[in-house]
Amino acid sequence: MNVPTDLYFQQLSGDNSVFLGTLPPDSRQRILSEEYASLIFRNENFPWEELNIVLPEYIPQRADWQYAILNAPLSDFSPSVSRQGYFTIPKLFTLLDTAGLESSGISQVQNQPYFHLRGEGICLGFIDTGINYQHPAFRNPDGSSRIARIWDQTIQSGEPPEGLLYGSEYTKEQINQALGSQNPLEVVPSVDELGHGTALAGIAAGTSDETARFSGAAPDAELIVVKLKPAKQYLRDYFLVEENAVAYQEDDCMLALRYLINQSRKLGRPLVVCFGLGTNQGGHDGYTPLDDMLSYISFLPAVYAVTAAGNEVGRNHHYFGRLNRPGELREVEVVVDQPNKGFTMEFWAFSPEVYTLGVISPLGEKISPPDPRMGTSQDVRLLLDNSRVQIDYETVEFRSGSQLIQVRVENPSVGSWRFQVVNKRYLNGTFHLWLPITGLASPHVRFLDPDPDTTLVTPSNNVNTITASTYQALTDIIYLHSSRGLTRGEQLKPDIAAPGVGVQVPSRATGYTQITGSSAAAAITAGAVALLVQWGLQFNNGKLLSSTEIKNMLYRGASRRPDLSYPNRIWGYGTLNVYGIFESLVTI
């Protein structure tokens, strides 16, 4: 089932692998070294050809036609919004998880004699914690693997993918060789220590197992898997991430996305990307570098992106404020319940408004709000509290154009931290603040007066992807922590609600277990998208459906309750119902 090749695919797989300059012989070591920082640059400002020739020592890698990733000595490029700019510093992403097929109408289209849609001829791509490739959920009836490729960014003993400089790639032939050997990990040493990637791959595309009463949504699809390497320590330190938190870098996700697209092109098959990670960093309006990549691929033929809304309701990590007049001051309280290493916080407001921020510590020490200009930065050590507060201002953030104020508080005193928001240029007085996402932040830091809305995580705010919120299929009740829209720019999100509570999944060892969270809902939705793409190619005159068509088919088939109005910020257009799509096509 071949799909057309366009200029974008040619750009990804052609000149990207050719470096016109001379790369250092220790390029892989530098990319992985804790002494080197990862930087994200937009190619319109730093053309690829110039980076390639002028800065080969920074080991340029091209993510797509928009972005390049550089690696520079930390001594030259230590992270700082005031010095580097917010856009250039990779954001950190984490996992979104702590009887859905029938309620989603997937079982009906799998088993309906005419359709028998099971994802054949479609690739499902995962950027996550890897996969337990030995599990029966990823094998054909003859025991061979359904996994087409694995790129394990954490293993450096094998060959990296073409055009990339780190990690090890394993082909289907190598995986089958491993499965046929007595010691599979000697042939393909890739494992999923956390089980999250295995779970999502199983939900979306696990092989049916009648004895375990298990089936993935698209059990005949092929899989392409990227196991992300952990985030470097300098970024964990800069963003004050908890010691044992699972964190991944934005630039690694971007290169992983490029890899998935390249591999699906080589296979000549449509690709559905399931992205089950998230962050509270960014403006929550779809303008991070990863957002830009996801936006662009959503307009490509044969590429579809599904994102998870997040599990941030009730976590007290979002604050929304509205001032009534110019010059008004609003105090926003952040409560620190127990001692911890610190927290970061991001303030976002739309142009042309301008704000400034003051701080009052629990022991009464005060940092006065400055006059906010481009590059304004404060770095204050509080004597009584023994805390350090850093505040960086970007009055016009590079990609979104919004005002950003980034706050870092190291070693915060226990108690109430009061942040004084002052408006300097008034339009409507609205602003948002976000603390880090659950899993990266200390659970002992929260807003005193949080807002449960606009809690969708990045990149689920991206209006061009398909975003799934989470509900309990057995009770038809929204999951307690399911993140809500709208986006900061008041665009509709989420698109659809899918089952994500107590979903049965392959375990990282043997057998099956259950997970709950929005990434489970995203995985079911990704599998459903694969079925719709297959239907278009096999039963709709060979039509390759666009992402926009797929999204609107999901809207059309969704189940809706009579007591609610749609679309809304919790359920989107309703609950996922693939069979309802086909019913809607033949009925009025």
Give, as one character, the DSSP assignment of residue 464. Answer: T
Q: Both 290 and 221 in a single domain?
A: yes
For residue 554, the model assigns a pLDDT of 97
Q: Both 246 and 140 in a single domain?
A: yes
Q: Both 385 and 442 in a single domain?
A: yes
Q: Both 68 and 113 in a single domain?
A: no
The terminus-to-terminus CA distance of the chain in angstroms comes to 32
Alpha-helix residue ranges (DSSP H) falling in 181-333:
184-187, 196-205, 233-238, 250-267, 289-297
Does 440 score more than 70 pLDDT? yes
For residue 18, the model assigns a pLDDT of 43
Does 213 score more than 50 pLDDT? yes
36-95: per-residue pLDDT in tens?
999 998 876 666 666 655 567 788 888 888 898 989 899 888 788 877 889 899 999 999
Helix/strand/coil for 440? coil
* Confidence band, pLDDT 50/70/90 cuts, at residue 15: very low
Two tokens at 187?
């042939």
Single-letter residue type at 107: S
How many domains would you assign to the chain? Answer: 3
Q: Both 81 and 216 in a single domain?
A: no
503-528: per-residue pLDDT in tens?
989 988 888 989 999 999 999 999 99
Q: Is 279 left (phi over 0), alpha (psi -120 to 50) or beta?
A: beta
Domain end position, chosen among 505, 529, 553: 529
* Confidence band, pLDDT 50/70/90 cuts, at residue 16: very low
Four-point Cα dihedral 31, 32, 34, 37, nearest 10: 30
Domain end position, chosen among 60, 90, 120: 90
Q: Both 308 and 322 in a single domain?
A: no
Q: What percentage of the chain carries pLDDT values higher than 90?
A: 75
Q: Both 301 and 182 in a single domain?
A: yes
For residue 284, the model assigns a pLDDT of 97
> Are the beta carbons of 128 and 193 closer than 8 angstroms?
no
Does 357 score more than 90 pLDDT? yes
Side-chain-side CA neighbours of 522 within 13 Å: the count stands at: 40
pTM as predicted: 0.94
Structural domain of 304: 100-313+458-529
Biggest CA–CA distance in the chain, Å, is 74
CATH number at residue 154: 3.40.50.200
* Confidence band, pLDDT 50/70/90 cuts, at residue 11: very low
> Are the beta carbons of 235 and 166 closer than 8 angstroms?
no
Among the listed residues 334, 390, 389, 330, the one whose alpha carbon sits nearest the alpha carbon of residue 355: 330
Residue with tokens 């899918």: 498
Kindly state the average pLDDT of the residues 321-331.
93
Q: How many CB atoms lie within 10 A of CB 585?
A: 11
Does 9 score more than 70 pLDDT? no
Domain assignment present for residue 241? The answer is yes
CATH number at residue 427: 2.60.120.1290
* Confidence band, pLDDT 50/70/90 cuts, at residue 209: confident
Q: Both 420 and 438 in a single domain?
A: yes
d(CA 299, CA 302): 9
> Are the beta carbons of 493 and 573 closer than 8 angstroms?
no
Domain assignment present for residue 235? The answer is yes
Among the listed residues 109, 451, 397, the one whose alpha carbon sits nearest the alpha carbon of residue 281: 397
Q: Both 189 and 45 in a single domain?
A: no
124-179: per-residue pLDDT in tens?
999 999 999 999 999 999 999 999 999 999 999 999 999 899 999 999 999 999 99
Q: How many CB atoms lie within 10 A of CB 563?
A: 5
Kindly state the average pLDDT of the residues 176-202.
96
Q: Both 309 and 322 in a single domain?
A: no
Domain assignment present for residue 278? The answer is yes
For residue 588, the model assigns a pLDDT of 47
Q: What percentage of the chain carries pLDDT values higher than 70?
A: 90
d(CA 320, CA 432): 5
Among the listed residues 190, 194, 183, 267, the one whose alpha carbon sits nearest the alpha carbon of residue 226: 190
What is the chain's length? 588
Residue with tokens 């055009």: 163
Q: Both 57 and 109 in a single domain?
A: no
Residue with tokens 């040493």: 189
d(CA 153, CA 161): 10
Domain assignment present for residue 569? The answer is no
Q: Both 379 and 270 in a single domain?
A: no
For residue 79, the model assigns a pLDDT of 81
Cα separation values, 28 from 3, 8, 71, 77, Å: 33, 26, 10, 19
Q: How many CB atoms lie within 10 A of CB 6?
A: 12
Does 312 score more than 50 pLDDT? yes
Strands 445-447, 303-308: pairing kind: unpaired
User: Angle CA(95)–CA(390)–CA(448) in degrees, nearest 5?
Assistant: 60
d(CA 460, CA 537): 27
Helix/strand/coil for 164? coil
* Confidence band, pLDDT 50/70/90 cuts, at residue 480: very high
Cis-peptide into 277, omega within 30 deg: no
Among the listed residues 93, 8, 18, the one whose alpha carbon sits nearest the alpha carbon of residue 61: 18
Helix/strand/coil for 294? helix
Kindly state the average pLDDT of the residues 239-261.
96
3-state SS of 341-376?
Answer: CEEEEEEEECCCCEEEEEEECCCCCEECCCCCCCCC
Does 353 score more than 60 pLDDT? yes
